[in-house]
């Protein structure tokens, strides 16, 4: 076991597009989407312990520790290991930058980082495929963050093809509300009939998000943000929201629009990237 403290990245993501093709009999939905990472995210300081305790030193208000994906991921990993790993534990300190319920994947990314990091720090040596399977037990987006590359996904979160979208600059606006994914997917008027298209066709048509109409109807703050941001660039929702983003060719042009933001709007500029900072850090940390 490696006992020193280390700080691990948990990057945010955006959905460049999101189409809902159908709803399954079990209530889940078939989707088509492209995930791309942002050069922005949470950070987790991890200090391994030898007394079996797993402690989140920065609890999140409103989320009990036993329901937090960070704790669940650590315990799930340990439960897969031989009995002599039962004394393995960790102190976990989260620097939370990704807004909760924002559509940027913060909880899923944190869980993925815990799985990847503790697999290394505890020297568990589980394979990449095993980590992917464990991640899927925690949430549909967790395997993407473990996988570490921009991906085309379809069905119920199945990663199908690695993709290489242009690494543009984005202005991401946070309406400062928490949107429940379950609420959006339960809505009876949610668009669920987008045709299944090939990736080649999807890349040719203008990008959109089938959740956007429903979210704008239910959350006036999101509608106002999209109306404002659309004055400057094509704008759309990421995931089920609440964050909205617009893409720019340069950092400077994104920052210029950021300066025009109305008082009270929370926003930041970040570059879209195709390789996860978690993957890069994991490789450098153990081979430096």
> How do residues 113-165 score in pLDDT, each as one tens digit?
999 999 999 999 999 999 999 999 999 999 999 999 999 999 988 899 999 99
271: burial class by Cβ within 10 Å (0-12, 13-18, 19+)? middle
| For residue 87, pLDDT beyond 70 | yes
Measured between alpha carbons, how far is residue 198 from residues 18, 29, 87, 147, 153 in Å?
14, 18, 48, 22, 11
The CATH number of the domain where 192 resides is what? 3.30.70.890
- Residue 43: what pLDDT? 98
Query: Residue 254: inside a domain, yes or no?
Result: yes
| Average pLDDT in the chain | 94
Q: Are residues 89 and 205 in the same domain?
A: no
Closest C-alpha to 178, from 63, 84, 278, 90: 63
Structural domain boundaries, residue 234 = 169-273
Q: Are residues 62 and 200 in the same domain?
A: no
The CATH number of the domain where 45 resides is what? 3.30.230.10
Q: Are residues 141 and 281 in the same domain?
A: yes
H/E stretch holding 267: strand 266-273
Residue 200 makes CB contacts below 8 A (sequence gap 6+) with none
Q: Which residues are catalytic?
A: 13, 141
Query: Residue 1: inside a domain, yes or no?
Result: no
Q: Are residues 91 and 180 in the same domain?
A: no
Closest C-alpha to 275, from 108, 150, 160, 111: 150
- Residue 285: what pLDDT? 67
Q: Are residues 81 and 214 in the same domain?
A: no
- Residue 283: what pLDDT? 87
Structure confidence at residue 5 as a pLDDT band (50, 70, 90):
very high
Q: Are residues 282 and 208 in the same domain?
A: no
pLDDT tens sequence across 233-263:
999 999 999 999 999 999 999 999 999 998 8
Structure confidence at residue 17 as a pLDDT band (50, 70, 90):
very high
- Residue 221: what pLDDT? 95
| For residue 288, pLDDT beyond 70 | no
| For residue 23, pLDDT beyond 70 | yes
- Residue 94: what pLDDT? 97
**Per-residue pLDDT averaged across 10-33, rounded?**
96
Q: Are residues 146 and 180 in the same domain?
A: no
| For residue 65, pLDDT beyond 90 | no
Measure the CA–CA gap between 149 and 42, rounded to whole angstroms: 18
């Amino acid at each position: 076991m490696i006992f020193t403290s280390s700080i691990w990245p948990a990057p945010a993501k955006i959905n460049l597009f999101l189409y809902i093709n159908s709803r399954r009999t079990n209530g889940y939905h078939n989707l088509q989407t492209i995930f791309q990472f942002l050069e922005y995210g949470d950070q987790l300081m991890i200090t391994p312990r030898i007394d079996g305790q797993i402690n989140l030193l920065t609890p999140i208000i409103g989320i009990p520790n036993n329901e937090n994906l960070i704790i669940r991921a650590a315990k799930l990993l340990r439960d897969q290991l031989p009995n002599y790993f039962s004394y393995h534990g960790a102190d976990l300190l989260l620097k939370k930058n990704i807004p909760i319920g924002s559509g940027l994947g913060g909880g899923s990314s944190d869980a993925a980082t815990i799985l990847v990091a503790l697999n290394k720090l505890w020297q568990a040596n589980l394979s990449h495929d095993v980590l992917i399977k464990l991640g899927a037990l925690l949430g549909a987006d967790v395997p993407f963050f473990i996988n570490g590359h921009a991906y085309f996904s379809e069905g119920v979160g199945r990663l199908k093809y690695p993709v290489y979208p242009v690494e543009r600059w984005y202005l991401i606006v946070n309406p400062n509300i928490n949107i429940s994914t379950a609420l959006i997917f339960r809505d009876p008027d949610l668009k669920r009939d987008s045709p299944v298209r090939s990736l080649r066709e999807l890349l040719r048509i203008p990008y959109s998000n089938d959740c956007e109409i429903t979210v704008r109807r239910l959350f006036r703050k999101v509608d106002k943000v999209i109306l404002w941001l659309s004055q400057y660039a094509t704008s759309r929702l990421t995931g089920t929201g609440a964050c909205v983003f617009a893409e720019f060719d340069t950092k400077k042009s994104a920052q210029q629009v950021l300066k025009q933001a109305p008082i009270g709007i929370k926003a930041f500029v970040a570059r879209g990237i195709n390789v996860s900072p978690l993957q890069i850090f994991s490789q450098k940390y153990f081979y430096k």
